[in-house]
Amino acid sequence: MTTTYGSFPGTRPRRLRTTPVMRRMVAETRLHPADFILPAFVREGVSEPVPIAAMPGVVQHTRDSLKKAAAEAVAAGISGIMLFGVPEEDKKDAVGTPGTDPDGILQVALRDVRAEVGDELLVMSDLCLDETTDHGHCGVLDAEGRVDNDATLERYAEMAQVQADAGAHVVGPSGMMDGQIGVVRDALDQIGREDVAILAYTAKYSSAFYGPFREAVGSSLKGDRKTYQQDPANFRESMRELALDLEEGADMVMVKPAGPYLDILARVADAVDVPVAAYQISGEYSMVEAAAEKGWVDRERAILETLTGIKRAGARNILTYWAVEAARLLR
């Protein structure tokens, strides 16, 4: 009998895929509940949670249901909750007064959640005016209807202080105004809140995938945000924004959206030594939910696959509406 050695192929990568245990052992990227941050909406003046039609499974919380959601987040082992306040429509105005009112819905919700979970969950706050202005833009408008960068920074400084006073561990300036991180850092330090961290929305693109979010926050926006959010065609612009945010004092940086911008996320993660986050936004969530509802994808596999891809690209933390569910799936 003749035996032939050295038959092709000699190298067989499939040997490392043979069983679930083998695949688990050699996995290069691992998701963990601590990777996740839950974005959550709280709406003023409602007695029951309000379902968001464009985001199946997500609601605008009441104050009570938000506290329950925060407790569930702690039990699931995730790291944080990012709060977005939705004021009553008649309280919105040109300068976003509810955003700096100590009794505005976001500030009330921050106090509620801190009272509920203390330091067991990082309580984060969206620092932006779009939910509180009657025109829906992320800043104050000038006489010609343009977003006034420097006037907006003054509002952000005041917002940072009232959010810190209300109990935020982390503030997330998301309006993409030039100089916002430095102004917010100074404002916090002026009131002795050097302990409050800043999660910078460093690369926030003007994206079509924000659509469902507009319903979630009851947006009054007319027009678009292209004069301040980044152009999807650009990469170098993100790196410039990154350098500025770090220089101004950002503790963490973020890329938003996540899925369509994994290349940006990877380059940012390679460039810095601070934690990098990514926001899997409403449109990314809703597309998977819609496809799963049609039976076109395996929902749970798709959830974990999208999250794995975001982490593999370099995100240490992921803001996702599936945060609690994904944590449970991993367990």
pLDDT at 218: 65
Token pair of 240, please? Answer: 């410039």
**Known catalytic membership, residue 204:** yes
DSSP string across 103-118? TSHHHHHHHHHHHHHT
Give the DSSP per-residue string, 90-158.
GG-BTT-GGGT-TTSHHHHHHHHHHHHHTTSSEEEEEE-STTTBSS--SS-B-TTS-B-HHHHHHHHHH
Most confident by average pLDDT, 108-112, 176-180, 221-225: 108-112
Q: Round to whole Å and give the CA distance between 240 and 304.
A: 32
Per-residue confidence band for 40, with pLDDT thresholds at 50, 70 and 90: very high
Residue 137 and residue 221 in contact, taking contact as beta carbons nearer than 8 Å:
yes
Torsion angle, alpha carbons of 311, 303, 210, 62, to 10: -110
Among 177, 105, 172, 106, residue whose Cα is nearest residue 141: 177
* DSSP assigned state of 9: P
pLDDT of residue 139: 87
Percent of the chain residues past pLDDT 90, beyond the cut: 84
Give tens-digit pLDDT for 278-297.
Answer: 999 999 999 999 999 999 99
**6 compared with 230, residue with greater pLDDT:** 230
Given this model, what pLDDT does residue 210 score?
A: 86
Better-scored residue on pLDDT, 33 or 7? 33
The reported pTM is 0.93
Rg (CA), the chain: 21
Higher pLDDT, 139 or 309: 309
- Interacting residues of 99 by C-beta distance below 8 A, sequence separation 6+: 85, 106, 128, 129, 131, 132, 155, 159
Tokens of 231: 């152009």
Looking up tokens 């343009």 gives 146
Given a cut of 70, whether residue 90 has pLDDT beyond it is yes
- pLDDT at residue number 203: 95
Pairing of strands 59-61, 36-43: parallel
DSSP 200-265: EEEEEB--GGGHHHHHHTT----S--TTTSBPTT-SHHHHHHHHHHHHHT-SEEEEESSGGGHHHH
pLDDT score for 290: 97
Mean pLDDT of 52-64: 96
Please tell me the predicted confidence (pLDDT) of residue 8: 75
The question of whether 256 is a catalytic residue gets the answer yes
pLDDT at 56 over 60: yes
Quote the CA–CA distance of 176 and 174 in Å, as a whole number: 6
Please give the torsion angle defined by the CA atoms of residues 215, 91, 85 and 49, in that order, rounded to the nearest 10 degrees. -60
Closest to 124 (Cα-Cα) out of 62, 78, 186, 89: 78
What are the pLDDT digits (tens) for 114-171? 999 999 999 999 999 988 998 878 889 999 889 999 999 999 999 999 999 999 999 9
| Annotated active-site residue in 68, 91, 92, 204 | 204
Q: What is the mean pLDDT of residues 286-313?
A: 98
Instruction: Give the per-residue pLDDT at 221.
Output: 65
> Mean pLDDT across the chain, nearest whole number?
94
91, 256, 294, 311: the active-site residue: 256
pLDDT band, residue 75 (cuts 50/70/90) = very high
- pLDDT 10s digits, 187-245: 999 999 999 999 999 999 999 888 887 777 667 667 677 788 889 999 999 999 999 99
CA distances from 57 to 87, 276, 281, 321 (A): 21, 27, 14, 9
